[in-house]
Structure 1
Amino acid sequence: MSSPDRNLVPDDASRTNPEASSSGDIKIGERGDLDGPDNEMKRAAAKKLIERYFYQLIDGCGNSNCNNIYCRSSESFVFKVNTLSANEAAAQAIQLFSQDARLCERHPNKMPRTHSQIMLNAKGVEKSSPTTAETDLPSNDLHLNLNTEPSCASSELKTEESIPYLTEQKCYEIIDLCEETGKYVPLVKILGAVFSNMSKLSNSFLQNDMNSPIDAMLDKTNADLTTLKKEDVRSLEGEKDKDEDSCVSPSAGGESRKTIPIVDLPSVRRAYRALFKLNTTHFEGSLVTALVTLASVLEIELKAKFINFTSDEIINIILIVFEIPALGTGDFVEMALPMLCRALEHLSLDLQAKLALAWSGPGRSNMQNILENLQQLITLRVITGFNTYTQDVQDDTVVTSATKLMKILYYANILAGVMESPDLREEYDDLKLSKTSYPIDPLATMLGVNVLDSRKPFIPFSEFYNEPLSDTVEMDRDFANFKSDLGKFSFMTYSFILTPPTKTLGLYFDNRIRMFDNRRISFMQSVIGQPSNPYLRLKVRRDHIIDDALVELEMIAMENPIDLKKQLVVEFENEQGIDEGGVSKEFFQLVIEEIFNPDYAMFTYQQDSQTVWFNPTSFENEAQFTLIGIVLGLAIYNNIILAVNFPMVLYRKLMGKRGSFEDLSEWNPTLYNSLKQMLEYNEPDLEDVFMQTFRISYQDVFGGLINHDLKENGDQVAVTQTNKFEFVEMYADFLLNKSVEKQFRAFYKGFQMVTDESPLELLFRPEEVELLICGSKTFNFNSLEQATEYDGGYTSDSPIIKHFWSVVHAFSIEEKRKLLQFTTGSDRVPIGGLSKLKLVIAKNGPDSDRLPTAHTCFNVLLLPEYSSKEKLKDRLVKAINYYQGFGML
């Protein structure tokens, strides 16, 4: 196996002066190769000699009898008391070069290496002497004991021997060696040694070429190296010290510690690709064991708050480890990854932020793999890892620690995607009755991240859902943990991992508990002689449903808005029926149909997007829009799905984000495409082509045009290449915000009257709020058939049931909607799909001419045992087409 450009260190054999003295020393005055006419060549040749000083300082010449005080091999080595870092050695090498210091002849990189020298001991490396049979190994074999620690790891961990680390080049060389010999012991040992040691791993694969760390130092000066003076060296050393002082360790109480370079992730990935092309049985066990050891040490270090390592070194370790492509498979996911997640649970807030920034920047291309590995770990643990009969999943440390780590990835995913300005966030604190709010995640605050700012995440948010976990978690217990003051883990605070149907349960429990609290208070008031209704009762006439409902809701909102948070009970005048949920469903359906009736002119219909929007010229007062907001809030509060068709921008606004240009793509696709075409037009004749000014026009309730100037004297200001972005922003802001501000504020106020204390914003993103209100758009009746239960003597094999599903599957979409409306009281698919509906088909007597009936409160269809498929279809079609007020109990 070969790789291009692997030689990171110059081949010193080609640069050794042939006139070296017999003592093995080279005198600076003998450097004839520096006398050439080309300055660049002189500089390059000088740099190569400085590199030889560098390796002489950190590795020595290999001569056990060396007496050069500037060589590590010498017993009289001047720096033997102190262990030099790479930067310190580089500075000293430059100074020795400027002083014409003694330079030994042999360079350790070109000494023959043996397999025994590759073996590591507890202090760093095994320094065995080569045997006679092994001295003929090729000169490019892997050398593990040549590099000193190139970072600021604590001096307590340093030894007199150098600490090896991995580079892409070293990986290639050890792989080549193993493939050539067919023996993989060297690979096993180096992986075990480096991946189990925080010092070694934190200094592996760094961006700077640590085999030649003098490059960064020499780049700071354009001085002629052949005439370098002591002042120049001091200047370089001063720059080094300045860099080291720029990083303050949080564990050192302000003591300065230098920042090490960030890991070179592309290099890591190439090295892993080469490694995992091998048969993994050769090294997987060693690597897994090393990672387990690493995780244990890392956990101790994190708990101790950075005693021995800087935050940059820890981030480098995490980045390198989580680039391992097989981390979610085999022994990695069963042994190493759980230990790593448990260790990283102790990451400090600033370290979490640094990791999120690293993953969102250079690490973004691997985020999908990291997410899949964490999902694999959680899924495996949920399915096989703990006893669901005796333990809650919230108590499983593997699942919870992996979820906490996934949160960091979640924020990184937002940062790596397309984001909008936080200036578009808008709080309507003056419209909220309650000041109750759930705490904002401190990591989100530190990163300045809000999910509302995410226009397009790097990875779709839906890929963060874990369905096995969502199906396993007991939301009643999780909700109790969420409300507890004991600091118990709750998935509700990590809602990104839960599917919308599961999160809906959390919201349902919150709403129900609040309803029961109000009911209990009403009962206590009645005991002490204060009449109080434990329910929010609405009595309406079917043919005056809007007038009756809105008048009653307006009175309640004015007199005692807290009553809006009681359980809703609806009664249609002169109609029998007890509201166990079905009557409320029909009530909301009828109200919505009337509200969006064009005769009311409260909303306009957007033909392109088939959505409705506030009418900016509506004659209705603000109170009417407030009542519409109350209706929408009551639907969520009472777990009712509505047939509304608002654009996504409405839900973004409800969650606190103003509409922007990109929202026009769903609000009015034709307008959006026209404006986008203008933005993408880069020719100088834009003014003549588009002929647009800062005056715009829109229609009033009667279809007439109304002109509006986006800025003063807008009709006199042409849109040009210079101001076209300003025009587009102002246009979108007017259409989505300013023109309907009065109507939306009233609508928002009504919505908040019901939902202000709800964890709605904590649990749901805008697109999930749309699902919560409108239900799913997928009509999968196969799922409904699989989830349906049977009663009264029917089974899935009954002939009438087989006929029923044959007829239903042949229905049009409109007929299927009517069937849902007839059997459940709503024509909308519940969030999570029809499999969540739990329809029950019960036998309602033998064959007869009666039409089917339904208990909409309980999703029960009462079906007589018709004698033929044709008769069944005839009776069922009639029932679903003439159902309102009849046939539903």
Structure 2
Amino acid sequence: MSSSDNSAADEASSNKEASPCPQVIHTEEGDMKRAAAKKLIERYFYQLTEGCGNPNCTNKDCASSGQFNPMNPNDAAGHALKLFSKDAKLCERHPSKIARIYCGCSKDKFSAPEEPICSVVSNDNVVSQTSVPTHLTEEALYDIIDECESNETYSPLIRTLGEVFSSIENLSKSFSQEPFSATSTPNSENPEKLQCLNKEQLRHLEGEKDKDEDSCAETSKTSIRPVDLPAVRRAYTALFKLKTSIFENAMVNALVTLAGNLQMELPIRKEKDSHDDIVNVLLIVFEIPALGSGDFLETALPAICRAAQWLPVEVQATLATSWAGPGRSSIRNILENLQQLITLRVIVTPFHREFFIQDENVITSATQVMKVLYYANVLAGVLESPALRNMDDMNDSMDESFLAVKLNKSVAPVDSLAQTLGVHILDCRKPFLPYSEFYNEPLSDMVEMDRDFANFKSEFGIFSGKFSFMNYPFILTPATKTMGLYFDNRIRMYSERRISILQAVTGQPSNPYLRLKVRRENIIDDALVELEMIAMENPNDLKKQLVVEFEGEQGIDEGGVSKEFFQLVIEEIFNPDYAMFTVQSETQMMWFNPTSFESTAQFNLIGIVLGLAIYNNIILAVNFPMVLYRKLMGRKGSFEDLLDWNPVLYNSLKQLLEYTEPDLEEVFLQTFRISYKDVFGSVINYDLKEKGDKIPVTQENKYEFVDLYADFLLNKSVEKQFKAFYKGFQMVVDESPLDQLFRPEEIELLICGSKNFDFDELENSTEYDGGYTNDSQVIKDFWSVVHALSTEDKRKLLQFTTGSDRVPIGGLSRLKLVIAKNGQDSDRLPTAHTCFNVLLLPEYSSKEKLKDRLVKAINYSKGFGML
């Protein structure tokens, strides 16, 4: 059987029509073995392409019949599967029509003997018989390449690649770390097992034959050895020094055949079956250097990804572990290949209202493979102890009423792959590759998040059969994930609004919004008192849409009033006069004051404010260290978190750890007693261990000292304040998919906004109305003035036009600023609708006048009026 024919025969298993095949094996022919099923399908394929050899054949599904319409190999492969599922008539084969192979050195076809033979014509025109190996080693590949180059024919190489890379069994044994046992080598003295290891003729399907084959398959599975990945890479380096055109077609066809075999094999394997061969196959395939280019990218890689989506979670975990260990140097190359495949399909596929990006099987299957690589990237990075996860401790601190509310909420599904690996994203201090390299921007821009969110929230989630990229958030940019969070929050707001309306119908008092009425000069007391009452009476009211009203002002809150409300609250909360937070002088980072006199209720309410900001899609001007966001996600602070919060202390402790001389005790003069200052500047001593002032820090206990020191500063000393803060935060976001979609650094971006202060982006995304265009002279003058402003004045301009001086996640292009004409030249100042990001700009007669009016407007405007 030719390599190309075999490819066509098995290719159908990578199509949607292949799915019935595993079911037929179980339901219609329960006793039929997998090997026999495959051979039967191949017989149907030969019947459709070659015929039975009987010129008087009356079978309409046989090429020898006069009623038969010729088929190409691909159509024949698909039709062979259908005939197999229907248990259709199978002709008796003509004696001459036995299983055949194709030798790359000529177009002739040869009968398949017990061992594949390839005819090679040497320079002396003497025909020699060269045995084709059933599996490859590094040395064997070198020998074949040398032989081909010396004979000036690459037929043996082409034939070998086709034979090895099209077979799960052959490829899984290739490039093994250890030699195979005698029972599985080509030189074995046991002919029965030797025949099972090689591809046989299609001639019989007797039960005893199947039994022998299954017995042999079990023997071969036990002989699978781990792949020697360095040898694989060296072998590929030698192979791809040749012109790719020599072997590309044969290798691509073989990989498509291999993918078909995988897609047929994986769904019918039992859980107890060994999958070492599958892992070996995938490790070898994904090492191919050219997998992300040419026909490999367009044909082979999609087929492999479609097959890999059938991998059981245990096999995914094994594959991830292998990539994280000896395969880690290939993580970047594999990721780039998958990214290229996804990007290519996003660009070339004509999506429409009946066919969305979530329906494109190549994209979704490649994303599933990327998830395995994502966890490999985590495992290959710097991991911390799982003991630092503290969700149980946090839940223990909640009062019974709050826990009762949480028990009624939907629980996020457990990531089965992470659970099998025993790892959590929060365990990874530093991944092998930056997380940002897993973002795919073309895909993120193309995803329609309304549909994706609907799939994500479908009744049975991932088990509904509906694909959602929100279940694979590593591939989405933070800006796109924010849209998913926005939909979730808005739907919850509308749900609370409907409940309020129903209550009103039944005569109960109701309020569809979370209304806060505050005085600008007394904003903290007014806001916190109202929020405290709401949190005590009905925490679910916090999930209603926020509407803020400043007493004595006419502004109607469509978003802009809320933005200023949060900004003013944050300014007051972090006022040093309250002494609820301390500021690190080197980094200007805010942290909980362990000696604060404020009650836990105050910290609880600050957590509510932070949660409300996320829930209402408002960016805050806060400057917390990253450890706060890690703690909000359920991870305790540790030594490495000190770098971001207090780099001076971190470097001092690091010097202690790196000091290796035996006189550490005399040099550092440090004991297990530490000191810190309270709000009045008084020094407070604290023993990290009992009688800590009597225990010197030595080479033996220095790591314990550093861990205890960091644990005290980041966890124990602020435990009361943080637990209250965390409780308030969870009152708002407990039902949100926040922790499913975002990592700690993305949470910071969500709360604080982007640091990319690029006004060129804002200019390019701005729209014009009322008669202005980007060619209007006043618009040209406006941007000339704006680009010349200081950074501080640019922030004031953002505050004036949008109600916030922060850059939204995704950059300034996300603001969608609108500049509208507001009459002819006059002495009026520019005005703005902050709720809708609209700047009303008169058509000033000169650039100087425009600058003067604009600067005055952004510096002296405060409060809201009816515009």
* Equivalent in 310, 313, 317 of residue 353 of structure 1: 317
Distance 2:718 2:866 in 1: 39
Q: Is the Cα–Cα contact under 8 Å of residues 771 and 821 in structure 2 kept in the other structure?
A: yes
Question: Aligned ranges for residues 817-828 of structure 1 at < 5 Å?
Answer: 817-828=795-806
Distance 1:652 1:308 in 2: 39
Question: Is 1:778 aligned to residue 752 of structure 2?
Answer: no
Question: Is 1:207 aligned to residue 173 of structure 2?
Answer: no
Equivalent residue number for residue 468 of structure 1: 442
The one-letter code matched in structure 1 to 2:406 is: S
Equivalent residue number for residue 488 of structure 1: 466
Equivalent residue number for residue 356 of structure 2: 392
Equivalent residue number for residue 376 of structure 2: 412
> Residues 653 and 305 of structure 1: is their aligned pair in 2 closer, same or farther, counting only changes over 3 Å?
same
The one-letter code matched in structure 2 to 1:856 is: T
Equivalent residue number for residue 331 of structure 1: 295
Equivalent residue number for residue 289 of structure 1: 253
Equivalent residue number for residue 631 of structure 2: 653
Question: Is 1:667 aligned to residue 667 of structure 2?
Answer: no
Distance 1:605 1:621 in 2: 20
Larger mean Cα displacement after TM superposition, 435-444 or 710-719:
435-444
Larger mean Cα displacement after TM superposition, 532-541 or 399-408:
399-408
Equivalent residue number for residue 158 of structure 1: none
Q: Is the Cα–Cα contact under 8 Å of residues 546 and 562 in structure 2 kept in the other structure?
A: yes
Question: Is 1:872 aligned to residue 842 of structure 2?
Answer: no
Equivalent residue number for residue 277 of structure 1: 241
SS of residue matched to 1:737 = helix
> Residues 130 and 780 of structure 1: is their aligned pair in 2 closer, same or farther, counting only changes over 3 Å?
closer
Q: Is the Cα–Cα contact under 8 Å of residues 301 and 307 in structure 1 kept in the other structure?
A: no
* Equivalent in 717, 720, 729 of residue 742 of structure 1: 720
Equivalent residue number for residue 148 of structure 2: 178
* Equivalent in 609, 630, 634 of residue 631 of structure 1: 609
Distance 2:831 2:520 in 1: 20
5+ residue gaps, structure 2, are 1-103, 186-213
Q: Is the Cα–Cα contact under 8 Å of residues 607 and 729 in structure 2 kept in the other structure?
A: yes
Cα shift readout 1:649-688 (whole Å, capped 9, x = no counterpart) = 0000000000000000001000000000100000000011
Question: Aligned ranges for residues 352-751 of structure 1 at < 5 Å?
Answer: 352-427=316-391, 428-430=394-396, 431=398, 432=403, 433-435=405-407, 436-485=410-459, 486-751=464-729
Distance 1:308 1:608 in 2: 58
Cα shift readout 1:85-113 (whole Å, capped 9, x = no counterpart) = xxxxxxxxxxxxxxxxxxxxxxxxxxxxx
Cα shift readout 1:438-487 (whole Å, capped 9, x = no counterpart) = 01111110101100001000111111111111111111111111111234
> Residues 128 and 530 of structure 1: is their aligned pair in 2 closer, same or farther, counting only changes over 3 Å?
closer
Q: Is the Cα–Cα contact under 8 Å of residues 613 and 620 in structure 2 kept in the other structure?
A: yes
Q: Is the Cα–Cα contact under 8 Å of residues 455 and 466 in structure 2 kept in the other structure?
A: yes
SS of residue matched to 1:434 = helix
Give the drift of 1:390.
Answer: 2.7
Equivalent residue number for residue 77 of structure 1: none
> Residues 354 and 645 of structure 1: is their aligned pair in 2 closer, same or farther, counting only changes over 3 Å?
same
Question: Is 1:196 aligned to residue 170 of structure 2?
Answer: no
Equivalent residue number for residue 53 of structure 1: none
Give the drift of 1:726.
Answer: 0.2
Larger mean Cα displacement after TM superposition, 201-210 or 127-136:
127-136
Equivalent residue number for residue 822 of structure 2: 844
The one-letter code matched in structure 2 to 1:465 is: Y
Q: Is the Cα–Cα contact under 8 Å of residues 120 and 126 in structure 1 kept in the other structure?
A: no
Distance 1:684 1:649 in 2: 33
TM-score of the superposition, structure 1-length normalised? 0.78
Distance 2:555 2:105 in 1: 88
Cα shift readout 1:417-458 (whole Å, capped 9, x = no counterpart) = 000000000112243541332011111101011000010001
Q: Is the Cα–Cα contact under 8 Å of residues 854 and 888 in structure 1 kept in the other structure?
A: no
Q: Is the Cα–Cα contact under 8 Å of residues 172 and 224 in structure 2 kept in the other structure?
A: no
Cα shift readout 1:625-672 (whole Å, capped 9, x = no counterpart) = 000000000000000000000000000000000000000000100000
SS of residue matched to 2:540 = helix
Give the drift of 1:382.
Answer: 1.0
Give the drift of 1:186.
Answer: 2.1
> Residues 177 and 711 of structure 1: is their aligned pair in 2 closer, same or farther, counting only changes over 3 Å?
same
The one-letter code matched in structure 2 to 1:766 is: P
Give the drift of 1:181.
Answer: 3.3
* Equivalent in 312, 333, 337 of residue 276 of structure 2: 312
Distance 1:864 1:123 in 2: 90
Q: Is the Cα–Cα contact under 8 Å of residues 184 and 223 in structure 2 kept in the other structure?
A: no
Cα shift readout 1:800-821 (whole Å, capped 9, x = no counterpart) = 1111111111111111111111
Give the drift of 1:544.
Answer: 0.2
Distance 2:796 2:422 in 1: 47
Distance 2:574 2:226 in 1: 57
Q: Is the Cα–Cα contact under 8 Å of residues 853 and 887 in structure 1 kept in the other structure?
A: no
> Residues 844 and 537 of structure 1: is their aligned pair in 2 closer, same or farther, counting only changes over 3 Å?
same
Give the drift of 1:779.
Answer: 0.3
Give the drift of 1:182.
Answer: 3.0
Distance 1:642 1:688 in 2: 47
Question: Is 1:756 aligned to residue 734 of structure 2?
Answer: yes
Distance 2:843 2:832 in 1: 15
SS of residue matched to 2:472 = helix
Give the drift of 1:381.
Answer: 0.8
Greater Rg by CA: 1
> Residues 588 and 199 of structure 1: is their aligned pair in 2 closer, same or farther, counting only changes over 3 Å?
same
Q: Is the Cα–Cα contact under 8 Å of residues 826 and 844 in structure 2 kept in the other structure?
A: yes
Give the drift of 1:770.
Answer: 0.3
SS of residue matched to 1:332 = helix
Cα shift readout 1:142-190 (whole Å, capped 9, x = no counterpart) = 9644xxxxxxxxxxxxxxxxx6211111221222223333322222221
Cα shift readout 1:473-521 (whole Å, capped 9, x = no counterpart) = 1111111111112341111111111110111111111111110011001
Q: Percent identity?
A: 69
The one-letter code matched in structure 2 to 1:190 is: T
Question: Aligned ranges for residues 28-427 of structure 1 at < 5 Å?
Answer: 122=112, 125-127=115-117, 144-145=131-132, 164-210=134-180, 258=222, 260-305=224-269, 310-427=274-391
Distance 2:763 2:596 in 1: 45
5+ residue gaps, structure 1, are 1-113, 146-162, 216-250
The one-letter code matched in structure 2 to 1:434 is: K
> Residues 142 and 822 of structure 1: is their aligned pair in 2 closer, same or farther, counting only changes over 3 Å?
farther
Distance 2:345 2:706 in 1: 50
Cα shift readout 1:114-136 (whole Å, capped 9, x = no counterpart) = 989x9997567444799998699
Equivalent residue number for residue 784 of structure 2: 806
The one-letter code matched in structure 2 to 1:193 is: E
SS of residue matched to 2:591 = strand
Distance 1:664 1:854 in 2: 43
Distance 2:378 2:866 in 1: 47
Q: Is the Cα–Cα contact under 8 Å of residues 697 and 707 in structure 1 kept in the other structure?
A: yes
Equivalent residue number for residue 12 of structure 1: none
Equivalent residue number for residue 159 of structure 1: none
C-alpha RMSD over aligned residues: 2.5
TM-score of the superposition, structure 2-length normalised? 0.80
Q: Is the Cα–Cα contact under 8 Å of residues 416 and 457 in structure 1 kept in the other structure?
A: yes
Q: Is the Cα–Cα contact under 8 Å of residues 178 and 187 in structure 1 kept in the other structure?
A: yes
Distance 2:112 2:621 in 1: 70
Q: Is the Cα–Cα contact under 8 Å of residues 554 and 865 in structure 2 kept in the other structure?
A: no
Distance 1:724 1:642 in 2: 39
> Residues 192 and 522 of structure 1: is their aligned pair in 2 closer, same or farther, counting only changes over 3 Å?
same
